[in-house]
Amino acid sequence: MNITVVGLGKIGLPLAVQFASKRHRVLGADVNPAVVASVNDGREPFPGEHDLQTKLSEAVEAGLLEATTDTATAVSNSDAVVVVVPLFVDADGIPDFGWMTSATQDIARGLRPGTLVSYETTLPVGTTRTRWKPMLEEGSGLVEGKDFHLVFSPERVLTGRVFADLRKYPKLIGGLSSEGAERARQFYTDVLDFDERPDLERGNGVWDLGSAEAAEMAKLAETTYRDVNIGLANQFGRFAAANGIDVYQVIEASNSQPYSHIHRPGIAVGGHCIPVYPRLYLWNDPEATVVRAAREANAEMPSYTVGIAKGAAGDLNGKRVVVLGAAYRGGVKETAFSGVFATVEALRAEGAQVFVHDPMYTDEELVSFGWEPYHLGDAVDVAIVQADHAEYRSLSKDDLPGVSVVVDGRDHLDQSRFDGIAFRTVGRA
């Protein structure tokens, strides 16, 4: 097949490489000329994705992957189009479809009869049918279900392990017609490989959920579940800490029964997915009080954690405080909705002199965010762990000269390395 992947970001580019690895001819379309040039040179434009550089080099050298800024022309030469363009949500939870609308208009201009179009960007329920279908039909003059087919098939992978996750999890699809769904089933069966999953009653592979709306909701449901679960864990953690209880022992005990799957409390919920998709669900279902309460509970955790530091230190005004970890999670160089932002803001509100450390970022990169970089070995009064980077596992009080208070927001440090220090962990008294 000839396949166009629209959007060569941290999900789109690995997808393009995966399709090429199955010996299909892939055009990657992106609005960023620097990304296009990097891909055509066989160089990964962003670090941290396991096996991407190797697979990208192989695909480009084999002549199976080429990048372009001309989306319409790429689409006009394709049998299938996969769309992985970012959708943003503002502070009020309102989705901004701007980039996706522009990409869809480009796709419509190049759309030809017989083409399959699959949106993988997470969307509010109903978006594929009520927003993209009319836009594609108007821009192309074609009729969906007759001249071309439109489906929704959510990406379900985490950056850093995209290729493994593509094999591990069922590929969900939902079409606007039964014929479109069958085309999508055939397409994804041909371009993906699946691990054996005897734990799944339906087995691993492509799962047709019966409608685009069901596929849209499935992605929102699985990510919103995690946000709600973490919100519950955070509330358990706050109560436990206030009552002299170790919530981690409570969670371990509870989860020893197969009906309990309580997540872990922590300083923040970050990334492109878990803080964002519950807001998309709330946009569909504003009466979802459980979802709203969990999102609010999780958003409060950075300031709550700073409160723990203040309680241990007595006062943060004028204190040198380092936030350890700018990334939203360990091992990933990404700050999307990272807890570092709210943590720094809360510390500054307390009058602290704030520094940020992250082994994945240069001083210049940290400065570009408006933060003062910290170097291990510099004098500091208080340290707060925000990201569970592997490098922090071996930290000790010797790495933080002068530190009197350490707050572990991820239950990640070895407390025995901080003897004589006021050591606090979110969720523990």
Using one digit for the tens of pLDDT, what is the confidence trace for 185-218? 999 999 999 999 999 999 999 999 999 999 999 9
Rg (CA), the chain: 23
CB of 308 closer than 8 Å to CB of 426:
yes
E strand or H helix at 223:
helix 212-242
pTM: 0.92
Determine the pLDDT at residue 156: 96
For the chain, give every domain's residue range: 2-210, 211-429
Using one digit for the tens of pLDDT, what is the confidence trace for 63-107? 999 999 999 999 999 999 999 999 988 877 899 999 999 999 999
Residue 385 has pLDDT above 80, yes or no: yes
Task: Count CA atoms within 13 Å of residue 318 on its CB side.
Answer: 2
Determine the pLDDT at residue 272: 86
Determine the pLDDT at residue 36: 98
Could you check whether 2-210 and 211-429 share the same CATH topology? Answer: yes
Round the average pLDDT of the chain to a whole number and report it.
Answer: 97
Determine the pLDDT at residue 152: 98
CATH architecture for segment(s) 2-210: 3-Layer(aba) Sandwich (3.40)
Using one digit for the tens of pLDDT, what is the confidence trace for 234-272? 999 999 999 999 999 999 999 999 999 999 999 999 998
Domain 211-429 bears CATH identifier 3.40.50.150: no
Determine the pLDDT at residue 25: 98
* CA–CA distance, 396 with 399 (Å, rounded to integer): 6
Buried b (16+ CB within 10 A) or exposed e, 248-258: bebbeeeeeee
